[in-house]
Amino acid sequence: MCGIVGYVGREKVKDLLVDGLSRLEYRGYDSAGFALYPKDDTANFVVRRCVGVVAELRKATQDVGQTETQGIAHTRWATHGVPNEVNAHPHLTGLTVLVHNGIIENHAHLRSAFQEQGVAFHSQTDTEVFARLIESNREWHVQKEKEASGKDFLDLPTERKRDIVLEALRQSMRQVDGHYAILFMVKGLPGYLFGVQSGAPMVVGRTPHGSLIASDLHALIRHTREVSFVPHGAIVEASAEGYRYIDPASGKASTPKFETINWSAQEVEKEGYEHFMLKEIHQQPLVVADTLSGRLPQEAGDPFIWDHPKAHEVLWKNCKKVYLVACGTAYYAAMVGKYFLERWARIPVEVDLASEFRYRSPILEPGTVLGVISQSGETADTLAALRLANEMGVTTFSVCNVPGSTIMRESSFQYPTKAGPEIGVASTKAFTAQLVVLAALAQDIARLRGFKADPAPFARLPHDMEQILARAQSYMDLGARLADKKTILFVGRGAMYPLALEGALKLKEISYRHAEGYAAGELKHGPIALVDERLATIVLGPSDDLLPKTLSNLEEIRSRKGYIIGIGEESNKNFKALCDEYIGMPATDWALAPLLYVLPLQLISYGLAKHLECDIDKPRNLAKSVTVE
Ligand code: AGP
């Protein structure tokens, strides 16, 4: 995710923009920039961009911004193109300067079409392509106008210039695929900002001195509580006097309805959620869509789209064995990844805890590829494992969530997750993003190795996740009811076994209550001695070929008066009849079940921790990134 801010009014704009960016920094912070509309219309836009956090931008631009009162700004979380100054926003093309949050899925196609016309691009971003598209459509209309009236764009009346820009924008929206929010300005049209909300959030704020637009409330709430959330698909035109929404299909304009937001600034950071963790749990459908966006093939059998397609193909056609190494939640994602790679791509996979791996003198034969999985990209144990593999001459890859992090930089190949910054210490959205990257990678490797790959089930993932999250309150209430249990056992088979481990970790981390994850088949080898009415067992049972065995394990618990919470398909009446409480889930493909079944586990833990009044976002003794051994 990236953050965008814009303002047009009577106040000096630069500090407003930079302050706004600093409130959006949680959305992305690998580079930042702004463009100011000059007071003297004959001068150029004042554009400043720099790598690093927003504070770097503030430091580097003390020399500008004393007079301007209109501008746009951006803080980046790289999706296309490495984090550097060239790829930082805003992007200036002709008379148009633009900032963007989201993904233009057909940017490569548009880029090559422009390049065939001799257009040169300066960055690797999809954003620059979008700016070029708007500019070239504007130029086309200007050319028509010139043929009709003999006038250049800058000689036209303001009204006519606005119409041309809006026409060019509507045309561009029809030509792009993807989900995005953009803001832009056009030289020769002082006093106007233009924007579109098409699948990425945007909110406008009304102040006594001008109009403020941003990705979300963070950047507005200090200036105004009078806001309007830009509807999906709408064009927004802002001036110092106010706003218009324009329907791109009909071109009809309407005036936004404003509402008063009664949130404290602190609450705004959580966008109304009580904790970052709860917000991040609810972000997961969008995160999965973002992480898959631009990667899924159009047709089954087509290649997935990665950043380094040729080298990717050579790597995986020659790979003989995979190691997946990580810590904590990322390690459980690696365990699920093993099922994907072995079942689809028929590659042998070893999964190892990073803190163990390098101390057991691992034997890495030729043809081995080692992957590390890490949300932060800075975990000391995981980084050390990566460095050992690099020293041993093994090709490495990372599934990591922070662009520019050490692990990302030091791995040979990168398959990034796109979860945006994860603030809650307990990992949630990064985990599901890791699973979806591993599943997509395994599908593509299967294709490369001549096996069947069918990415179709991925498409409905965000929808199914939304359906489950709609029942969040009931899962949180169930979690609170576990407060009187002495310990909670999580059990599952197959890919549900790592889920059981993850569910236990979530509960321990944030509620400080004891929990344990176990392979369901292991119960009779010891843990069943724990079972009595004060022990609750959460049984993970999607309707796969392992379910009958899981149900017989469940009977073993029942016969010893254990309290059973089942999580299985809604329609599975006989599973439900064996449980004291039951969470019904949608029918799904075995591989996607982990992405769905983890959602109630996260919310059960959250509900118990909230009931116990724990510090959910910053649990005691823990750190978001363990950068020491
Ligand atoms: C997960 O909820 C914990 N915060 C912890 O186990 C975490 O997954 C582990 O420290 C690995 O962190 P990383 O993904 O940033 O490498």
Helices (H) and strands (E) in the chain, counts: 20, 25
pLDDT tier at 263, thresholds 50, 70, 90: low
What's the chain's Rg over C-alpha atoms?
26
**pLDDT at residue number 259:** 87
Bond into 303 cis (ω within 30): no
Backbone angles phi, psi at 212, to 5 degrees: -120, 135
- In ligand 1, the atom with minimum distance to the C-alpha of 626 is 10
14 counts as catalytic: no
Give yes or no for residue 530 having a pLDDT over 70: yes
Residue 35 near residue 29 (C-beta atoms within 8 A): no
pLDDT tens string 506-523: 999 999 999 999 999 999
CATH numeric code, 3-131+175-268:
3.60.20.10
Give yes or no for residue 595 having a pLDDT over 80: yes
**pLDDT at residue number 405:** 74
- Which ranges in the chain are annotated with CATH 3.40.50.10490? 270-470, 472-620
pLDDT tier at 103, thresholds 50, 70, 90: confident
Give yes or no for residue 624 having a pLDDT over 80: no
What are the CA-CA distances from residue 628 to residues 355, 388, 424 (Å)?
A: 11, 17, 19
Q: Which residues pair with 51 in a beta bridge?
A: 31
Backbone angles phi, psi at 465, to 5 degrees: -65, -40
Give yes or no for residue 524 having a pLDDT over 80: yes
- In ligand 1, the atom with minimum distance to the C-alpha of 430 is 14
Ligand 1 within 6 A of CB of 384: no
What are the CA-CA distances from residue 23 to residues 215, 371, 495 (Å)?
A: 10, 34, 39
Bond into 90 cis (ω within 30): yes
Q: How far apart are CA 399 and CA 411, in angstroms?
A: 10
Backbone angles phi, psi at 535, to 5 degrees: -105, 130
**pLDDT at residue number 26:** 62
Total number of residues shown for the chain:
629
In 3D, which of 252, 195, 273, 178 has the Cα closest to residue 229? 195
In 3D, which of 17, 10, 615 has the Cα closest to residue 276? 615
Nearest-CA residue for ligand 1 atom 4 is: 426
624 counts as catalytic: yes
Q: How far apart are CA 531 and CA 489, in angstroms?
A: 9
Contacts of 227 (CB under 8 A, 6+ apart): 203, 204, 205, 206, 217, 220, 258, 259, 261
Give yes or no for residue 80 having a pLDDT over 80: no
pLDDT tens string 104-143: 989 999 999 999 999 999 999 999 999 999 999 999 999 9
**For the chain, percent of residues with pLDDT exceeding 70:** 97
Nearest-CA residue for ligand 1 atom 9 is: 328
Q: Which of 321, 549, 576, 624 is catalytic?
A: 624
Backbone angles phi, psi at 172, to 5 degrees: -65, -40
Residue 363 near residue 339 (C-beta atoms within 8 A): no
**What is the pLDDT of the chain when averaged over all its residues?**
92
Ligand 1 within 6 A of CB of 425: yes
pLDDT tier at 201, thresholds 50, 70, 90: confident
pLDDT tens string 39-48: 999 999 999 9
Nearest-CA residue for ligand 1 atom 7 is: 328
Nearest-CA residue for ligand 1 atom 16 is: 374
**pLDDT at residue number 112:** 96
**pLDDT at residue number 520:** 95
**pLDDT at residue number 72:** 98
Ligand 1 within 6 A of CB of 376: yes
**pLDDT at residue number 264:** 63
pLDDT tier at 203, thresholds 50, 70, 90: very high
Ligand 1 within 6 A of CB of 443: no
Stretch 53-64: mean pLDDT? 89
**pLDDT at residue number 77:** 73
pLDDT tens string 333-349: 999 999 999 999 999 99
Backbone angles phi, psi at 320, to 5 degrees: -110, -25
In 3D, which of 332, 352, 312 has the Cα closest to residue 441? 312
Ligand 1 within 6 A of CB of 375: yes
Give the three-state DSSP class for 231. Answer: coil
Fold of 270-470: Rossmann fold (3.40.50)
Give yes or no for residue 629 having a pLDDT over 70: no
**pLDDT at residue number 455:** 84
Q: Which position has the higher pLDDT, 301 or 576?
A: 576
CA of 326 to the centre of ligand 1 (A): 9
- In ligand 1, the atom with minimum distance to the C-alpha of 382 is 16
**pLDDT at residue number 628:** 65
Give yes or no for residue 540 having a pLDDT over 80: yes
pLDDT tier at 2, thresholds 50, 70, 90: confident
Q: How far apart are CA 456 and CA 467, in angstroms?
A: 19
pLDDT tens string 355-388: 999 999 999 999 999 999 999 888 889 999 999 9
Q: How far apart are CA 299 and CA 186, in angstroms?
A: 39
Residue 218 near residue 268 (C-beta atoms within 8 A): yes
**pLDDT at residue number 87:** 86
**pLDDT at residue number 268:** 61
Q: How far apart are CA 333 and CA 70, in angstroms?
A: 46
Give the three-state DSSP class for 81. Answer: coil
**pLDDT at residue number 267:** 59
CA of 417 to the centre of ligand 1 (A): 14
**pLDDT at residue number 188:** 96
- Which ranges in the chain are annotated with CATH 3.60.20.10? 3-131+175-268
**For the chain, percent of residues with pLDDT exceeding 90:** 75
pLDDT tens string 390-430: 999 999 999 999 866 789 889 999 999 988 878 888 999 99
Ligand 1 within 6 A of CB of 382: yes
Q: How far apart are CA 598 and CA 481, in angstroms?
A: 19
CA of 428 to the centre of ligand 1 (A): 10
End-to-end CA distance of the chain: 30
**pLDDT at residue number 356:** 97
- CATH label, 472-620, candidates 3.40.50.150, 3.30.70.1560, 3.40.50.10490, 3.10.450.50: 3.40.50.10490
The token pair that represents 9 in the structure block: 């009014």
- In ligand 1, the atom with minimum distance to the C-alpha of 425 is 4
pLDDT tier at 1, thresholds 50, 70, 90: low
Instruction: Name the residue of 325, 327, 410, 509 whose CB sits within 8 Å of the most ligand 1 atoms, as the mutation to test its pocket.
Output: 327
Q: How far apart are CA 510 and CA 491, in angstroms?
A: 19
